[in-house]
Amino acid sequence: MTLLPVPRTAVVIVAAGSGTRLGADRPKAFVGVDDETVLAHALRGVVAVETPMQIVIVAPAGLEGEARAEAERTAGERIDLVSVVLGGPTRQASVAAGLAALWADIEVVLVHDAARALTPPDVFDRVVAAVDETGWGIIPVLPVVDTLKRVNGDRVAAAVDRADLVAAQTPQGFRRDVLATAYAAADAEHTDDAALLQAAGHQVGTVAGSPLSFKITTPEDLDRARRVLADREPAPIVPSRPALILPRVGVGTDVHAFTAAGTLWLAGLEWPRQSALEGHSDGDAVAHAIVDALLSAAGLGDIGTHFGTSRPEFAGAHGSAFLAETRRLVEEAGWTIGNVSVQVQAARPKFSPRRAEAEAALSAVLGAPVSVSATTTDGLGFVGASEGVQAFAVALLIAAR
Ligand code: CTP
Ligand code: MG
């Protein structure tokens, strides 16, 4: 069951090489680093990127099932975004196989070596942001630290100025249409995807890479990866989450004081001849409690996050305007409102004659059932003294689709 929004970015993880230089008894991506393989670590980095991406794993012949199993262990709720395809005899052929599996909606594609297993998630973010900004091919790079020499056999022919040299890493990011066209036209093997893109006449830019993105090529590199992992803080114990996205609840409360001027607005209704509630907006504590409950359920912050002084258009707005905008935010984040229950504590106005009307008005704005109940406080507290009203709301959200 896919409950995540359709992504616009994809990552092709090439893992189909044999790992000749590593010399292990199985293809490199399937060699254990600690208790997990090179591929599993690469997948963890990709899955930790905040915005979900389509993930295409390019596997060697006979290991497609194992690649799928690694994804099932590591991708969590993003497993529906993963597909596994068979690689080719060269890296370039493997990338081409991965590109052929991209979904129609994909606009930006990253190509990543499984062998760069410890690449941190922020590198992916940087590459995607730079592709979006420039439309160019983008590669993560590190400055070259060693002094470089050009040699002729075993003799040094010349020193090389390293000032304008960098080391290229992956993930390399591209506009999907541009990369697909360049791949279709390629008639030679290139050292990386950026070189292929440049050969087709396109611009390639850089962002900062990471020392952790080193490629596991030799047994020494594998040792280095093992040392990096051994030095890490033990990961916090996070309870494993089911692949199913659970419904989410949120709670919200609000209080507003009565004031002498104006007409009362409460629960989305106008109450003629009742003194108004004070506030930046119309003081509709019922609507505001619902807004907080919905935003909290969606994990989108609170009313101040979205309707504070940075949104002057909401100054003086009615509760229904807040509710409509909140519904839009929640739906944009991939949720559907299940239902809302709200209780108002108020000594006045007398609520019961208009309870059904309030429920209808609030339900209409949210497109979901809203139940409203009202109570007094037996004369106690600020509610009992008629100084103000207070509202409590609970909202349930379910994943859209
Ligand atoms: N790769 C691939 N298909 C190939 C060759 C390479 O998918 N036919 C992938 C590798 O799995 C690796 C990445 O490309 O993740 C970078 O290649 P490299 O480090 O050279 O890996 P191998 O080719 O496996 O190693 P070697 O060159 O030592 O054989
Ligand atoms: Mg190779």
Q: Could you tell me if the CB of 17 is within 6 A of ligand 1?
A: yes
Nearest CA to ligand 1 atom 25: 19
For residue 180, the model assigns a pLDDT of 96
At 224 the three-state DSSP class reads helix
Residues 322 and 373 in one domain: yes
335-383 tens-digit pLDDT: 999 999 999 999 999 999 999 999 999 999 999 999 999 999 999 999 9
At 79 the three-state DSSP class reads helix
Q: 2 in a domain, yes or no? A: no
Residues 260 and 393 in one domain: yes
At 391 the three-state DSSP class reads strand
* Alpha carbons 192 and 190: distance in angstroms, whole number: 5
Task: Report the domain count for the chain.
Answer: 2
Q: What is the CATH number of the domain that holds 14?
A: 3.90.550.10
Nearest CA to ligand 1 atom 7: 16
* Alpha carbons 268 and 286: distance in angstroms, whole number: 8
For residue 245, the model assigns a pLDDT of 74
What is the β-pairing status of strands 82-86 and 54-59?
Answer: parallel
Question: Confidence band (pLDDT; 50, 70, 90) for 239?
Answer: low
For 266, phi then psi, to 5°, come to: -150, 135
The answer to whether 365 touches 220, Cβ cutoff 8 Å, is no
Residues 22 and 121 in one domain: yes
Q: 3 in a domain, yes or no? A: no
Q: Could you tell me if the CB of 92 is within 6 A of ligand 1?
A: no
* Alpha carbons 365 and 328: distance in angstroms, whole number: 11
Residues 226 and 258 in one domain: no
197 alpha carbon to ligand 2 midpoint, in Å? 19
Q: What is the mean pLDDT of residues 281-296?
A: 95
Beta bridge partners of 392: 253, 343
Q: What does the mean pLDDT of the chain come to? A: 93
Q: Could you tell me if the CB of 218 is within 6 A of ligand 1?
A: no
For residue 308, the model assigns a pLDDT of 80
193-207 tens-digit pLDDT: 999 999 999 999 999
Compute how many other C-beta atoms are within 10 angstroms of the C-beta atom of residue 208. Answer: 12
Q: Could you tell me if the CB of 97 is within 6 A of ligand 1?
A: no
The amino acid at residue 342 is V
15-55 tens-digit pLDDT: 999 999 999 999 999 999 999 999 999 999 999 999 999 99
Which of 202, 231, 260 is where one domain is finished?
231
Q: Which residue has the tokens 């006045």?
A: 348
Q: Could you tell me if the CB of 312 is within 6 A of ligand 1?
A: no
Residues 332 and 368 in one domain: yes
191 alpha carbon to ligand 2 midpoint, in Å? 10
* Alpha carbons 179 and 95: distance in angstroms, whole number: 11
Least Cα distance to 83 among 55, 109, 42 occurs for 55
| Cα angle, residue 39 at apex, residues 194 and 75 outer, rounded to 5° | 105
Residues 80 and 186 in one domain: yes
Q: What is the mean pLDDT of residues 69-87?
A: 96
The answer to whether 77 touches 130, Cβ cutoff 8 Å, is no
Q: Which ligand lies nearest to the CA atom of residue 14 in the structure?
A: 1
Host domain of residue 348:
248-399
Residues 320 and 171 in one domain: no
Residues 216 and 356 in one domain: no
From 22, 25, 28, 172, give the residue whose CB has the most ligand 1 atoms within 8 Å, as the site to mutate: 28
Percent of the chain with pLDDT over 90: 83
Q: Which ligand lies nearest to the CA atom of residue 89 in the structure?
A: 1
Between 57-61, 157-161, 179-183, the lowest mean confidence (pLDDT) is in 157-161
* Alpha carbons 122 and 82: distance in angstroms, whole number: 20
Q: Could you tell me if the CB of 14 is within 6 A of ligand 1?
A: yes
User: What burial class does residue 41 get, using C-beta atoms within 10 Å of its C-beta: 0-12 exposed, 13-18 middle, 19+ buried?
Assistant: buried
89 alpha carbon to ligand 2 midpoint, in Å? 10
pLDDT at 280 over 80: no
Nearest CA to ligand 1 atom 13: 113
Q: 238 in a domain, yes or no? A: no
* Alpha carbons 385 and 378: distance in angstroms, whole number: 10
Question: Confidence band (pLDDT; 50, 70, 90) for 401?
Answer: low
* Alpha carbons 48 and 45: distance in angstroms, whole number: 5
Q: 173 in a domain, yes or no? A: yes
Q: 241 in a domain, yes or no? A: no
Q: 1 in a domain, yes or no? A: no
The answer to whether 112 touches 41, Cβ cutoff 8 Å, is no
pLDDT at 237 over 70: no
Residues 180 and 265 in one domain: no
Question: Confidence band (pLDDT; 50, 70, 90) for 3?
Answer: low
396 alpha carbon to ligand 1 midpoint, in Å? 48
For residue 241, the model assigns a pLDDT of 56
Least Cα distance to 211 among 142, 159, 299 occurs for 142
Q: What is the mean pLDDT of residues 71-85?
A: 96
Nearest CA to ligand 1 atom 8: 90
* Alpha carbons 359 and 365: distance in angstroms, whole number: 10
Q: What is the CATH number of the domain that holds 285?
A: 3.30.1330.50
Q: What is the mean pLDDT of residues 182-199?
A: 94
151 alpha carbon to ligand 1 midpoint, in Å? 26
pLDDT at 309 over 80: no
| Cα angle, residue 119 at apex, residues 139 and 229 outer, rounded to 5° | 160
Which of 164, 196, 231 is where one domain is finished?
231
For residue 2, the model assigns a pLDDT of 46
Q: 27 in a domain, yes or no? A: yes
Q: Could you tell me if the CB of 63 is within 6 A of ligand 1?
A: no
59 alpha carbon to ligand 1 midpoint, in Å? 10
Q: What is the mean pLDDT of residues 45-73?
A: 97
For residue 261, the model assigns a pLDDT of 81
Question: Confidence band (pLDDT; 50, 70, 90) for 98?
Answer: very high
Q: Which ligand lies nearest to the CA atom of residue 92 in the structure?
A: 1
For residue 244, the model assigns a pLDDT of 66
At 203 the three-state DSSP class reads coil
For residue 204, the model assigns a pLDDT of 97
Q: CA-CA distances (angstroms) from residue 33 to 28, 57, 297? A: 10, 19, 39
Residues 142 and 41 in one domain: yes
Nearest CA to ligand 1 atom 23: 17
Residues 366 and 299 in one domain: yes
Residues 205 and 278 in one domain: no
Instruction: Supply 240's token pair.
Output: 């494993």
> Closest ligand 1 atom to the C-alpha of 90?
8
Beta bridge partners of 37: 32
Which of 197, 231, 265 is where one domain is finished?
231
Q: What is the mean pLDDT of residues 285-300?
A: 96
Q: What is the mean pLDDT of residues 272-287?
A: 90
221-232 tens-digit pLDDT: 999 999 999 988
Q: 4 in a domain, yes or no? A: no
